[in-house]
Amino acid sequence: MSRTSGLEPRLSEGDAPPARPQSKSFDWAWIGVTPFLIYAIMFLFLPSASIFVRSFQGPDGGFTLQNFATLFSRTDIINAYKTSIGISVLTSVGGAVFGFLLAYAVVLGGLPRFLRPALLTFSGVASNFAGVPLAFAFIATMGNAGLVTRLIESWTGIDIHASGFTIYNMWGLSIVYMYFQFPLMVLIMAPALDGLRSEWREACENLGGTYSQFWRYIAFPILMPSILGTTILLFGNAFGAYATAYAFSGSFINLVTILIGAVIQGDVLYDPGLGNALALGMIFIMLLCMLGYAWSQRRAARWAK
């Protein structure tokens, strides 16, 4: 049993199918996991690796850094990154703040008990209501013939769209993204707020502290890794969004995901090498996000004793 940890059940005795010596049973488990590993290699690692490799390839196939140079010099690409990052920062911070407040309101804010499961259910649904239907819903809300537009017109006589106001920009899209961003925050924060033990607050009061001192010195520091980590997650979530943006504004708003989509669909302006560089740039940013998130999770776990 030299290579197995102490947790494994003893397999060679007992009535497992024909009594096999320990090493054979050990192989069984690996066989069980192999299909998954093959799948991961074929459809996750290799595509990612090919993107990595090809982003350093010129049209002739030789090694080049030209793709990355183009990445940083073409204005439309730079703008795409700016817009994508801008929306991601806006909706991650905004979603984090509003989601936190909402979670607080329902868990610690003294609202009736039944509202909490209701809010969590809605958040679960809302965070899944992304993509095409969400885009259409917001167009029906704020667009040219949208409900809000019509209401404002009938109340004040002003046609807001006539004056050049449009929702098809970074700000409008951000409002759409928020719809699935802050429910995510709520779903993660609600259990985290539960984890704030009431004894901490009582101990703080017992030692003379006020409620705001409790939050300042104890609760926020404890929650900060979770809050930060989720904000980072929200950032990545927004950065990688494609369907919602495409259905909402097509290629009108310049985003990194839209650009990559254009390359895939054979848009002439972007050669494959550049497409790979774009994709790699995206993977890089998402990787940073995941690392940030993982780090924050570990910090949070340390204190949740």
Partner 1 sequence: MQVERGELVSFLGPSGCGKTTTLRVVAGFEKPTTGQVRINEEDITNNPPNQRNVGMVFQAYALFPNMTVAENIGFGMKVAKKQANEMSARVDEMLDLIHMPGFGDRYPYQLSGGQQQRVALARALALSPEVLLLDEPLSALDAKIRVSLRQEIRSIQRELGITAIYVTHDQEEALSLSDRVVVMNLGKIEQVGTPFQIYNFPETEFVAQFVGVLNAVQAEVVDPGSNRLKLDGQQVQTAQDLSKWRAGEKVVVAIRPERFSFVSEQVKANLLECRIENITFLGSIVRVQVRINDYTMYMDTFNNPYLELPKIGDMVKITCSREAVLILK
Partner 2 sequence: MKQSRIWSWIILIIGIFYFFLPLFSVFEFSMRMVKDKYTFQAYIVAFSDKAFYENFGFSMLWAILTIIVSLALIVPTAYWVHLRLRRIKPLIELITLMPFVVPAVVLSFGLIRLYGKPPLVLTSSPLLLIVGYVTLSMPYMYRAVDTGLRAIDVGTLTEAAQSLGAGWATILFRVIFPNLRVAILSGVFLTFAIVMGEFTFASLLVWPAFGPYMEEIGAMRAYTPQALSVVSFALTWISIGLLQRIGRGAPGQGQIAGTR
**Under the rule (CB under 8 A), what is the footprint of partner 1?**
197, 199-200, 202-210, 213, 217-218, 221-222, 302-305
Does residue number 220 form part of the binding site for partner 2 (CB under 8 A)? no
- With CB under 8 A as the contact rule, the residue among 85, 105, 222, 228 that binds partner 2 is 105
CA geometry: angle at 66 spanning 64 and 70, to 5°? 160
Q: Give whichever of 113 and 302 is closer to partner 1, judged by the CB atom.
A: 302
222 binds, among partner 2, partner 1, none (CB under 5 to 8 A by kind): partner 1
* Sequence-separated (6 or more) residues with CB below 8 Å from residue 227: 96, 100, 189
Counting contacts by CB under 8 A, is residue 98 touching partner 2?
yes
Q: Which residue number, 87 or 219, has a Cβ lying nearer to partner 1?
A: 219
57, β-bridge pairs: 63
Q: Give 89 or 222: the residue with its C-beta nearer to partner 1.
A: 222
Could you give the maximum distance between any two Cα atoms of the chain, in Å?
85
Q: Which of residues 36, 63, 114, 155 is near partner 2 by CB under 8 A?
A: 36
What residue type is 166 in one-letter code?
A: T
Q: Which residues are CB-neighbours of 179 under 8 A, at least 6 positions away?
A: 126, 129, 130, 134, 138
Q: Is 114 near partner 2 (CB under 8 A)?
A: no
Beta strands in 175-289 (DSSP E): none
Q: Which of 83, 84, 88, 127 binds partner 2 (CB under 8 A)?
A: 127
Q: Is residue 270 within the footprint of partner 2 (CB under 8 A)?
A: no
Decide: is 115 part of the binding site for partner 2 (CB under 8 A): yes
The CA radius of gyration of the chain, in Å to the nearest whole number, is 25
For partner 2, the closer of residues 105 and 224 by Cβ is 105
Query: In which residue are the tokens 């704020």 written?
Result: 142
The answer to whether residues 185 and 226 touch, using CB atoms and an 8 Å cutoff, is: no
Taking residue 2's Cβ as centre, other Cβ atoms within 10 Å add up to: 5
Contact residue for partner 2 among 90, 253, 277, 282 (CB under 8 A): 282
Q: How many residues bind partner 2 (CB under 8 A)?
A: 100
| Cβ closest to partner 1, residue 72 vs residue 211 | 211
The residue within the footprint of partner 2, chosen from 145, 162, 207, 268 (CB under 8 A), is 145
Q: What would the two tokens of residue 133 be?
A: 């239907």
Q: Is 111 in the site for partner 2 (CB under 8 A)?
A: yes
SS percent in the chain: helix, strand, coil, step 5:
70, 0, 25
Tokens 């993107």 sit on residue: 51
What does 264 bind: partner 1, partner 2, none (CB cut-off 5 to 8 Å by kind)? partner 2
